[in-house]
Amino acid sequence: MTAFMLATACVALGLLRMAQLARPPRTDHVAMAAHWYDERARASRRREAPHLARGSLLDRLGVWLADQVDRRGVDTSSLRADLAITGISLEQHLSKVLGLVVVALLGPPVILGSLSLLGLGLPLSVGIGAGIALAAAMVVVAQRELQVKAAEMRAEFRRTLSIYLDLVAMALDAGRGHAEALPAAANIGTGWTFAHLQDAIDGARFSGVSAWESLGALGRRLSLPELVDLDAALRLANEDGAKVKATLVARAGTLRAARIADAEAEANQATESMKFTLIAMVFAFLGYELYPSIVRLFAG
């Protein structure tokens, strides 16, 4: 009876396998294309940072961890935008964070363990707990530091974009067409912000897209809504030269007004800070002058 049941089960499994082979499942071409694209992106990042793959143990762990993050589809768009504008790769950032975590985990236990051997320290368990808490704090601090630096660089990029569009507007008023004014204005400036603009506009020529489409892609990569909005506005203007010129001039005026407002806000903030500093100095001076009299009053 048992042999008959086993034979029946084997025959059933064989028939099920034949049915699967006769009607294979439909291929999800979208998923296959996405998987192929992700593999290419990972291979490209590994080629861009070969020194990390051959570097220290922390560098190799950073490369491995970045690859695992990509494979599992973790949403790191905000982190990648911050890294892109600061010029740091995901592998380098993870290597740095891992280094901080290792130092934070091992530092307190080693210090407290050494003191415990001399009979001067706290129990080792306290050191382990302090190491875990310090490691978590290091992760938060590293992330916060990256966000603050990215915010500062985005503010600098916005100021540069305002100046760039002013130059474009001047070139348009001088009689140049938008196809000539956009790259000409980008080649005038210097610095890392203008380098990004130059690369985006020069890359548009080889990729067969318009300059504002390339600038929009740059804005999405660096999380700069001003560039994305510029791309959307110029797409609506389409290829009509007069509309494109009017849109560029209007956008230049808008960003110029925003830049002036930011400068005024910074000046007002600096003025308020000076007021508080002056008030603190006055109170400190009064305290210094009145302290002897108050002491004699209470002593007398």
Task: List the chain domain ranges.
Answer: 155-274
C-alpha to C-alpha distance for 300 and 294, rounded to whole angstroms:
10
Q: Which of 26, 70, 27 is nearest to 46 (CA)?
A: 70
User: Are residues 101 and 138 in contact, defined by beta-carbon separation less than 8 angstroms?
Assistant: yes
| pLDDT for 31 | 46
The tokens describing 275, both together, are 């007021």
Sequence-distant (6+) residues with CB within 8 A of 227 are 161, 215, 216, 218, 219, 220
Sequence-distant (6+) residues with CB within 8 A of 239 are none
| pLDDT for 241 | 55
pTM for this prediction? 0.67
| pLDDT for 269 | 78
Q: Which of 205, 170, 216 is nearest to 189 (CA)?
A: 170
| pLDDT for 124 | 67
pLDDT digits (tens), the chain, 300 positions: 566 666 776 767 777 667 666 665 555 554 445 444 555 555 555 555 555 555 566 667 766 676 766 666 667 778 888 888 888 887 788 888 888 888 888 887 777 777 766 666 667 677 778 888 888 888 888 889 989 999 989 988 988 888 888 888 888 878 777 778 888 888 887 888 888 888 888 888 777 788 888 888 888 888 888 888 888 887 776 655 567 777 777 878 888 887 788 778 777 777 777 877 888 887 787 777 777 777 777 775
